[in-house]
Chains A and B, each alone.
Chain A
Amino acid sequence: MNKDVCRIKGSRRGLVITISAGADFAEVLRQLQEKLSAAEGFFAGAEVKLAFEDGQFSKEQVDALAELISAFGMSLDRAQPVTRYSPAPSVGEAYKEAEPAAGEETLLVRRTLRSGQKIHYDGNIVVMGDVNPGAEVACTGDIVVLGSLRGVAHAGIADRVDAMVFAFRLEPTQLRIAHYISRSPDEKQPQPLGPEVARVVDNMIQISPYTHWGS
């Protein structure tokens, strides 16, 4: 059995075909054909995105993949930028990256923020504790709460739409990311079972369970 070089996964944004790093192109085509015919008709009509673990395929090769995909009644979404996983930096590069860019510093808050307390920061914020109702966290980057977030959180205040808010228990009074605002529903909600993350998806703040990055 050959190494699995292409994986088909359903996600919130539709179907994603992930191509492993360093895979042989002929092998990718062969496996994809095999997998798609095994699920004949199941994926028909779906819009598919390609994700390369490294960006080594040429335009011609992408075209070949698109042709195969359309042969099974699906379409390849080329408008979206193709997701690329950047290769792991060498040690020297990692050191260079440790030097934070302006506005990318992270503030570590080692306590619970209580009603009336507010933290505003140019960069990211990590709270090791809870953010209680009436408390406010706002920053230009991401917000991570290692506890319950019950207050107001505003990530990406300089209109950074890709900012996100993470919490072990995400039950905010109000969430703001860039210029988007959402509030918790008026009806009582069941408590989230695990960590969740909020991001802007399709011009809306969307909350989803946190599994691992990239999912």
Chain B
Amino acid sequence: MGKVIVITSGKGGVGKTTTTANLGHGLAALGRKVCLVDADIGLRNLDVVLGLENRIVYHLLDVVEGNCTVSKALIRDKQHGENLVLLAAAQTREKDAVNPDQMRDLMKVLRKEYDYVLVDCPAGIEQGFRNAVAGADQAILVTTPEVSAVRDADRIVGLLEATELHDPQVIINRIRPDMVRRGDMLDISDVDDFLRIPILGIVPDDESIIVSTNRGEPVVNDQRSRSGQAYRNICRRLEGQEVPFMDLQGENFMQRLLRRIRVGAANR
């Protein structure tokens, strides 16, 4: 019996979809069977980030409405095949086309087949959010070190208290160590002091994310990328391993250079 994890944030643009895609790839690389569900009906993105847009034939609503079987609608990933599949969202419909009960039934089917079902939640706290959290066992909040994003995350924690999802964890995305050092950005302890929920991971801001997102190849597969390393760490933590947080502060130019050379050599 697999675990259903919803990835949510409240605020838009903090990296929910990117996180979903990277965790999916990372867990599949650890040998797990993973199903990704795009619950952002009408504004789907996960397929693009995964580079699977052109393979969509059936989507979530087709499954819910009984137009096709679940297995028929699942799109196999280019790299991981059977071990990483996507259930895409419908682009031409709206969020109220599906209800929480239908989502719960769908999750029941998916968790039988897969070790992890990751649900990419839409921004906001309306119907789309309620659909996405229905049937989930666990919630991962994504936030950035910005006051508005942290506030929205706090609102979500409050809303989750009203559901069965009592112990959400948070990923702090797009940390910029140089800005934190100058005192221009909230640091991890600021966010922690505010939300007071367990931190699952810290992902540094990284240009390669944008490049890889546009290319449809999640950064988690890039051994040289710092953010990729952060996502790999999060995946191992989800697997129950103890992985210390990356030291974002202590790295200067020389250390960065040395690490690049070392990793480069290891990849060869």
Q: CB within 8 Å of B: which residues of A?
A: 111-117, 130, 132-135
Interface stretch, picked from B55-63, B100-108, B151-159, is B151-159
Q: Is the CB of A115 within 8 A of B196?
A: no
State which of A111, A116, A130 has its C-beta within 8 Å of the C-beta of B155. Answer: A116
Point out the residues of chain A lying under 8 angstroms from B154, CB to CB.
114-115, 132-134
How far in angstroms is the closest Cβ of chain A from B51? 36
State which of B152, B158, B196 has its C-beta within 8 Å of the C-beta of A117. Answer: B158
**Does chain A have a CB within 8 A of B194?**
yes
Q: Which residue of A lies closest to B193 (CB)?
A: A148
How far in angstroms is the closest Cβ of chain B from A150? 8
Point out the residues of chain A lying under 8 angstroms from B157, CB to CB.
114
Point out the residues of chain B lying under 8 angstroms from A133, CB to CB.
151, 154
A-B contact pairs, 7 of them (CB 8 A): A112-B196, A116-B159, A132-B151, A132-B194, A133-B151, A134-B151, A134-B155
How far in angstroms is the closest Cβ of chain A from B11? 11
Q: Which residue of B lies closest to A132 (CB)?
A: B154
Query: Given A114-B158, A115-B158, A117-B158, is A130 in contact with B151 using a C-beta cutoff of 8 Å?
Result: no
How far is it, in angstroms, between the C-alpha of A132 and the C-alpha of B194 when the chains are bound?
8
Q: CB within 8 Å of A: which residues of B?
A: 151-152, 154-155, 157-159, 161, 194, 196
Point out the residues of chain B lying under 8 angstroms from A135, CB to CB.
158
Task: Report the tally of A-B residue pairs with Cβ distances under 8 A.
Answer: 27
Point out the residues of chain B lying under 8 angstroms from A117, CB to CB.
158
Query: Given A133-B151, A134-B151, is A116 in contact with B158 using a C-beta cutoff of 8 Å?
Result: yes
Point out the residues of chain A lying under 8 angstroms from B159, CB to CB.
116
How far in angstroms is the closest Cβ of chain A from B243? 28
How far is it, in angstroms, between the C-alpha of A117 and the C-alpha of B31 when the chains are bound?
41
How far in angstroms is the closest Cβ of chain A from B259? 36
Q: Which residue of B lies closest to A169 (CB)?
A: B193
How far is it, in angstroms, between the C-alpha of A115 and the C-alpha of B156 when the chains are bound?
8
How far in angstroms is the closest Cβ of chain A from B135? 23
User: Nearest 8 CB-CB pairs, A to B?
Assistant: A114-B158, A115-B155, A115-B154, A114-B154, A116-B155, A117-B158, A132-B154, A114-B157
How far is it, in angstroms, between the C-alpha of A3 and the C-alpha of B161 when the chains are bound?
58
How far in angstroms is the closest Cβ of chain A from B118? 24
Point out the residues of chain A lying under 8 angstroms from B196, CB to CB.
112, 130
How far in angstroms is the closest Cβ of chain A from B193? 8
- Apart from the given pairs A114-B155, A133-B151, 5 other A-B contacts in the complex at a CB distance below 8 Å: A114-B154, A114-B161, A116-B155, A117-B158, A133-B154
Interface-centre pick from A111, A112, A134 (highest chain B CB count, 10 A): A112
Q: Which residue of B lies closest to A114 (CB)?
A: B158
Point out the residues of chain B lying under 8 angstroms from A115, CB to CB.
151-152, 154-155, 158
Q: Which residue of A lies closest to B158 (CB)?
A: A114
How far is it, in angstroms, between the C-alpha of A115 and the C-alpha of B154 when the chains are bound?
6
How far is it, in angstroms, between the C-alpha of A22 and the C-alpha of B158 when the chains are bound?
54
Point out the residues of chain A lying under 8 angstroms from B155, CB to CB.
114-116, 134
How far in angstroms is the closest Cβ of chain A from B197? 10
